[in-house]
């Protein structure tokens, strides 16, 4: 896993800010610090930060409450401003590729190339065809810069900016390993976004962001029952069986809303899976792993299983990470475990591998 100190993983999600600090031990990774600060519904809307002061304050609070002194951190971006494509280019040397990549990217990316930060990974060299497969990643500079700016305003030092989907894949690889001869899908279903990442033979073969998530359920409950955001959240979590809401009994409408939205998310995911299967020429997807806050809803897991007709399983980000801290808020950690995939995945990154994206 490389040398050097781990960075603090900082996930600025639309529902909350999560920060995780891990350390490597002889027995694997241990979580030493953890912070979680909820964000009000309109602070980040449609992937746009509407209230920068509120995010900065939340970052500040998360670090302070978790008692994290280390300032060097890793961030990630997601959503519509990130484009990930598998492309084929003529075989070339790494130097040639560095020179050519902007031009190649321009052919595949619908944004002005000057506005994006381009990165790539060589997936496979195929000398027999004089070609190679690349994973091209382009993220809008202004989103990366906006997030880095928020972090700097909270007196942090962002050294790495990753992509949500890859961060979760890294954590999954650490926890379960990536099978070299199989295809699996990893889904992160949060509040406003669901990201799908299909991993074939150990590498990402297809990613897609779907602009739907748990927030749609909360908003619909608010509308139908005429309740506040907080009440709707409580009703949703109670209906999903969250232990801390044991005393709340949601009315039948809440279950109906959950079923409706989770079915819609499952249908959108299925469209992406079908597209992948029809275009990639790769093997069938064997299993789907779901993480993110909305993975707490059994109804989501069942809806995806019904559509995809393959086993679907909740993936818990903490499953291979020990806890090694005296003053860590275990109740908070327990309650928000499923939401930590991105922050924990980011906390695997090292200071030495720091680069722009």
What is the CA angle 323-327-330, rounded to 5? 55
Site size toward ligand ATP, by CB under 6 A: 23
Q: Which one, of 103, 29, 42, 2, lies nearest residue 352 by Cα?
A: 2
Q: How far is the CB of 73 from ligand ATP (least distance, A)?
A: 16
3-state secondary structure of 192: coil
Q: Which one, of 275, 276, 305, 278, lies nearest residue 289 by Cα?
A: 305
Backbone dihedral angles phi then psi of residue 192, each to the nearest 5 degrees: -115, -10
Task: Give the x/- contact pattern for ligand ATP in 266-305, rule: CB under 6 A.
Answer: --------------------------xxx-xx--------
Q: Which stretch binds ligand ATP (CB under 6 A): 103-111, 140-148, 170-178, 210-218?
A: 210-218
193 binding ligand ATP? (CB under 6 A): yes
Helical H runs in 208-329?
214-225, 229-239, 252-280, 298-308
Question: In the set 73, 151, 191, 344, which binds ligand ATP (CB under 6 A)?
Answer: 191
Q: How far is the CB of 77 from ligand ATP (least distance, A)?
A: 11
250 binding ligand ATP? (CB under 6 A): no
Question: In the set 190, 213, 214, 250, which binds Mg ion (CB under 5 A)?
Answer: 190
Partner touching 169 among Mg ion, ligand ATP, none, CB below 5 to 8 Å by kind? none
Nearer to ligand ATP, 158 or 250 (CB): 250
Distances (CA, A) of 292 to 224, 314, 340: 25, 9, 7
Question: In the set 158, 214, 317, 345, which binds ligand ATP (CB under 6 A)?
Answer: 214
Strands (E), the chain: 8-12, 16-25, 28-38, 44-45, 48-49, 72-77, 82-90, 116-126, 131-140, 157-163, 183-189, 194-200, 203-210, 287-291, 312-314, 322-323
Handedness of CA 273, 143, 66, 326 (dihedral sign): positive
Q: How far is the CB of 213 from Mg ion (least distance, A)?
A: 8
Partner touching 277 among Mg ion, ligand ATP, none, CB below 5 to 8 Å by kind? none
Give the residue carrying structure tokens 């069942």. Answer: 302
Cβ pair 50, 43 in contact under 8 A: yes
Tokens of 63: 């670090």
Task: Give the x/- contact pattern for ligand ATP in 9-48, rule: CB under 6 A.
Answer: ----xxxx--------------------------------
Containing 47, the helix (H) or strand (E) segment is none
Question: In the set 6, 8, 12, 13, which binds Mg ion (CB under 5 A)?
Answer: 13
Question: In the set 86, 140, 208, 236, which binds ligand ATP (CB under 6 A)?
Answer: 236
Residue 103's CB is within 10 A of a number of other CB atoms, namely 10
209 binding ligand ATP? (CB under 6 A): no
237 binding ligand ATP? (CB under 6 A): yes
345 binding Mg ion? (CB under 5 A): no
317 binding Mg ion? (CB under 5 A): no
192 binding ligand ATP? (CB under 6 A): yes
Cβ burial of 203 (10 Å; 0-12, 13-18, 19+) is middle
Give the footprint of ligand ATP on this chain (CB under 6 A).
13-16, 190-193, 213-215, 218, 233, 236-237, 240, 242, 292-294, 296-297, 339
């Amino acid at each position: 896993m490389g040398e050097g100190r781990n960075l603090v993983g900082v996930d600025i999600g639309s529902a909350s800010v999560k920060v995780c600090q891990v350390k490597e031990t002889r027995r694997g990774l241990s979580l030493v610090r953890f912070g979680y600060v909820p964000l009000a519904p309109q602070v980040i809307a449609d992937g746009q930060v509407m209230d920068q002061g509120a995010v900065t304050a939340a970052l500040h609070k998360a670090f302070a409450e978790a008692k994290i002194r280390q300032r060097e951190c890793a961030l990630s971006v997601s959503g519509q401003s990130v484009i990930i494509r598998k492309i084929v280019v003529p075989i070339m040397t790494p130097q040639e590729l560095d020179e050519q990549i902007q031009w190649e990217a321009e052919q595949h990316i619908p944004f002005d190339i000057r506005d994006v930060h381009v990165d790539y990974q060589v997936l496979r060299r195929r000398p027999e065809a004089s070609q190679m497969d690349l994973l091209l990643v382009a993220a809008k500079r202004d989103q990366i810069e906006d997030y880095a700016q928020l972090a700097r305003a909270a007196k942090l030092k962002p050294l790495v900016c990753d992509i949500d989907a890859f961060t979760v894949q890294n954590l999954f690889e650490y926890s379960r390993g990536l099978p070299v001869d199989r295809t699996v899908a990893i889904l992160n279903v949060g509040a406003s976004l669901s990201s799908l990442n299909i991993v074939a033979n150990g590498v990402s073969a297809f990613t897609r962001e779907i602009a739907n998530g748990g927030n749609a359920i909360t908003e619909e409950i608010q509308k139908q029952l005429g309740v506040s955001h907080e009440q709707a959240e409580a009703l949703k979590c109670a209906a999903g069986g969250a232990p801390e809401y044991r005393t709340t009994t949601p009315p039948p409408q809440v279950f109906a809303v959950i079923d409706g939205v989770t079915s819609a998310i499952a249908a959108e995911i299925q469209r992406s899976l079908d597209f992948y299967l029809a275009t990639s020429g790769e093997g069938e997807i064997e299993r789907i792993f779901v993480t993110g806050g909305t993975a707490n809803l059994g109804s989501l897991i069942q809806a995806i299983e019904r559509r995809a007709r393959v086993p679907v399983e909740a993936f818990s980000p903490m499953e291979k990470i020990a806890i090694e801290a005296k003053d860590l808020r275990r109740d908070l950690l327990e309650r928000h475990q499923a939401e930590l995939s991105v922050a924990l995945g980011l906390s695997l990154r090292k200071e030495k591998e720091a680069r722009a994206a």
